[in-house]
């Protein structure tokens, strides 16, 4: 039996006891109310019978005075008669009300007798009233003695002989009913009192026994668990709790034993780990040696980078000098020749400028002196600006930049210029290694609290063995086609650094000769604003750079 079931059973016992007590109290209240109402009905009837007796005597007296005195007593006579009739109405109303109250009880038959008695009193009253009218008519005819004889025979004797007897019987019956009802109420109250006391005592005993059994079933396993915890605290990890019941505490004891076994196993593993310390130190030494080798390789890459930079700087400088010397040879030249030379000089200057900018940015990133200005920014606007710059870069090769993203705002906290710089670097790489008249695709989706930007080209691709190195500084592909493309090997390293500064991620997948895909994840911080992206009316659009004819076409 589980603890939950035991507690539920105890609660049911308590609730059952409370409900039984409530039922007894309810029955007591109902019975008390019933007998109080019966006593009230009987008292009201007794008062009505008493008032009717008084009114009947007064009515009899008023009849005698009217017959003796005459018309001056008529108002008093009429008043006494009205009061007597009102008393009859009140008594009949109370008698019938009590009969309705006692419907279905053993006292209903007695109420039938009372109704018959009231009916009989009304009949007598009617006969007395008829005799009174006769006596009044005799008096009005001057037959005073005959009127008095009728009064004594048909009125006074009727009142004394029968009417008052009925009233007395009614008063006696009502008094007996009041006394009987009070005795019954008192007896019932005593029975209910003893019953309530006995039930309360039984409920207390039952709740006490149930509480005792519940406490005894809990104290032993709790004591064993306490001893086990103290033993574990002393370091006795081999201590086990000997309680295997199928209830919740049994499950807790088994979990405790499993925990102790796990702790013991962990301690043994720690001891074994201490034994392996020398081996780990040796491995760490090897790791340090490998790290030193990596530093050596990095230094070699720096040297190679400086050599590449020297070559990259020497080439545009030589071209600049050559382009400047051509117009100076053999006298003056046409304006078109000067303009063409100056355009080539500007192109070479821009390439040198970009190379110098990358070197300066790399140097500042290593010293962490690049200033960021993060603020609430619409990522869609940043992507649109980057796509626009990518379209400008793509015109020289007639490459189409296709973009597909939602136009609803996606609010992020970022330095818009730096984030755009990273996207432009990736777009520039995709354009640089795409074939002429090709296309570069950019898509953006928003889900799970971050934006995903995918830039894909169908260019040269990257060999699988070179993919892990593409984000390293100074690294350039060794393939012949890729090495002919201008660049310093810094672009993707700079882009990766900028993306990570925005708490984002960047990854590259590629297949040589087929495609290259760069995936960028940027978290957004304003979920309420970004919700509009997922629920609003999304509108995708595609931009295509118009083909611009060059001098070679």
Q: Calculate helix-pair angle for 335-366, 491-501, nearest 10 degrees.
A: 50
**Cα dihedral across residues 25, 30, 35, 39: positive or negative:** positive
What are the structure tokens assigned to 19, written together? 């409900």
| Between 357 and 511, the higher pLDDT residue | 511
Contact 378, 433 (CB under 8 A): no
Element spanning 30, H or E: helix 3-69
Domain 243-370 has CATH 2.40.30.10: no
What pLDDT was estimated at residue 486? Answer: 56
Q: Give the Cα separation of 177 and 275 in Å (integer).
A: 104
Q: Can you count the helices (H) and strands (E) in the chain?
A: 14, 7
Widest CA span of the chain, in angstroms? 183
Q: Give the Cα separation of 175 and 42 in Å (integer).
A: 8
Q: Give the Cα separation of 56 and 37 in Å (integer).
A: 28
pLDDT at 420 over 80: yes
Per-position DSSP letters for 145-181, written without gaps between them:
HHHHHHIIIIIIHHIIIIIHHHHHHHHHHHHHHHHHH
Q: Which residues pair with 455 in a beta bridge?
A: 442, 518
In the three-class reduction of DSSP (H, G, I as helix; E, B as strand; rest coil), residue 451 is classed as strand
Confidence of residue 357 (pLDDT cuts 50, 70, 90): low
Average pLDDT over residues 227-251: 73
Residues contacting 366, CB < 8 A, separation 6+: none
Ranges assigned E (strand) in 277-367 = none
What are the structure tokens assigned to 289, written together? 């040696």
Which residue stretches of 70-107 are H helix? Answer: 74-101
pLDDT at 314 over 70: no
| Between 317 and 498, the higher pLDDT residue | 498
What would you report as the CA-atom Rg of the chain, rounded to the nearest whole angstrom? 58
| Between 167 and 373, the higher pLDDT residue | 373
Q: Phi/psi of residue 453, each to 5°?
A: -110, 125
pLDDT at 306 over 70: no
How does pLDDT run across 156-198, given as a tens digit for each residue? 766 666 677 777 777 777 777 777 777 877 777 787 788 878 8
Which residue bears the tokens 């009125």?
155
Contact 511, 461 (CB under 8 A): yes
What pLDDT was estimated at residue 108? Answer: 47
How does pLDDT run across 63-122, given as a tens digit for each residue? 777 777 777 877 887 888 888 788 878 877 877 777 777 765 555 445 556 677 777 777
Residues contacting 378, CB < 8 A, separation 6+: 409, 410, 411, 412
| Between 503 and 318, the higher pLDDT residue | 503
Overall pTM surpassing 0.75 (yes/no): no
Smallest Cα–Cα separation from 512: which of 468, 465, 463? 463
Confidence of residue 9 (pLDDT cuts 50, 70, 90): confident
pLDDT at 518 over 90: yes
pLDDT at 356 over 50: yes
Residues contacting 219, CB < 8 A, separation 6+: none
Per-position DSSP letters for 346-410, written without gaps between them:
HHHHHHHHHHHHHHHHHHHHHTT------EEEEHHHHHHHHHHHHHHHHGGGT-EEEEEE--S--
Distance of CA 176 to the CA centre of its chain: 68
| Between 3 and 481, the higher pLDDT residue | 3
Q: Give the Cα separation of 106 and 218 in Å (integer).
A: 56
Q: Phi/psi of residue 478, each to 5°?
A: -90, 0
Let me know the angle formed at the C-alpha of 17 by 11 and 18, rounded to the nearest 5 degrees: 90
| Between 447 and 172, the higher pLDDT residue | 447
Q: What integer best gives the mean pLDDT of the chain?
A: 76
Q: What CATH number labels 374-523? A: 3.30.565.10
> How far is the first Cα of the chain from the last one, in angstroms, to the nearest whole number?
92
Confidence of residue 402 (pLDDT cuts 50, 70, 90): very high
Average pLDDT over residues 212-235: 76
Contact 467, 510 (CB under 8 A): yes
pLDDT at 329 over 80: no
In the three-class reduction of DSSP (H, G, I as helix; E, B as strand; rest coil), residue 448 is classed as coil
How does pLDDT run across 43-57, given as a tens digit for each residue? 887 788 788 778 877
């Amino acid at each position: 039996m589980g603890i939950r079931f035991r507690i539920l059973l105890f609660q049911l016992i308590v609730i059952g006891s409370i409900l039984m007590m409530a039922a007894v109290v309810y029955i007591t209240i109902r019975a008390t109310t019933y007998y109080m109402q019966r006593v009230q009905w009987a008292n009201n009837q007794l008062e009505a019978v008493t008032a009717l007796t008084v009114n009947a005597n007064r009515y009899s007296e008023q009849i005698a005075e009217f017959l003796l005195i005459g018309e001056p007593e008529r108002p008093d006579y009429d008043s006494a008669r009205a009061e007597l009739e009102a008393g009859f109405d009140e008594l009949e109303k109370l008698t019938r009300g009590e009969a309705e109250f006692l419907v279905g009880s053993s006292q209903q038959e007695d109420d039938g007798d009372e109704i018959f008695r009231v009916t009989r009193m009304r009949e007598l009253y009617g006969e007395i009233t008829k005799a009174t009218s006769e006596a009044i008519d005799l008096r009005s005819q001057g037959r005073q003695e005959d009127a008095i004889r009728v009064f004594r025979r048909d009125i006074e004797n009727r009142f004394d002989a029968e009417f008052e007897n009925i009233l007395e019987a009614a008063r006696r019956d009502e008094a007996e009913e009041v006394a009987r009802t009070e005795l019954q109420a008192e007896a019932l109250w005593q029975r209910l009192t003893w019953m309530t006391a006995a039930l309360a005592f039984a409920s207390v005993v039952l709740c006490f026994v149930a509480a005792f059994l519940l406490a005894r079933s809990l104290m032993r396993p709790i004591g064993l668990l306490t001893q086990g915890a103290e033993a574990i605290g002393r370091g006795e990890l081999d201590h086990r709790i000997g309680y295997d019941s199928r209830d919740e505490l049994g499950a807790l004891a088994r979990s405790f034993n499993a925990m102790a076994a796990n702790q013991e196993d962990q301690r043994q593993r720690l001891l074994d780990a201490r034994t392996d310390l020398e081996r780990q130190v040796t491995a760490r030494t090897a790791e340090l040696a490998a790290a030193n080798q990596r530093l050596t390789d990095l230094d070699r890459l720096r040297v190679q980078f400086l050599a590449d930079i020297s070559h990259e700087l020497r080439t545009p400088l030589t071209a600049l000098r050559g382009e400047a010397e051509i117009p100076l040879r053999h006298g003056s030249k046409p304006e078109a020749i000067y303009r063409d030379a100056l355009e080539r000089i500007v192109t070479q200057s821009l390439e040198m400028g970009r190379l110098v900018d990358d070197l300066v940015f790399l140097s500042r990133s290593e010293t962490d002196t690049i200033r960021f200005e993060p603020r609430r920014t619409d990522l869609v606007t940043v992507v649109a600006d980057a796509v626009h710059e990518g379209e400008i870069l793509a015109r020289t090769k007639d490459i189409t930049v296709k973009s597909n993203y939602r136009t609803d705002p996606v609010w992020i906290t970022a330095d818009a210029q730096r984030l755009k710089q990273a996207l432009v670097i990736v777009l520039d790489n995709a354009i640089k290694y795409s074939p002429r008249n090709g296309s570069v695709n950019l898509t953006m989706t928003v889900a799970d609290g971050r934006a995903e930007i995918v830039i894909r080209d169908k260019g040269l691709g990257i060999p699988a063995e070179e993919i892990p190195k593409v984000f390293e500084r100074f690294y350039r592909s060794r393939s012949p086609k890729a090495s002919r493309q201008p660049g310093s090997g810094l672009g993707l390293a700079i882009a990766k650094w900028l993306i990570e500064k925005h708490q984002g991620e960047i990854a590259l997948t590629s297949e040589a000769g087929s495609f290259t895909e760069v995936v960028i994840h940027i978290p957004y911080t304003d979920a309420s604003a970004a919700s509009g992206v997922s629920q609003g009316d999304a509108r995708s659009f595609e931009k295509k750079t118009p083909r611009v004819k060059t001098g070679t076409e």
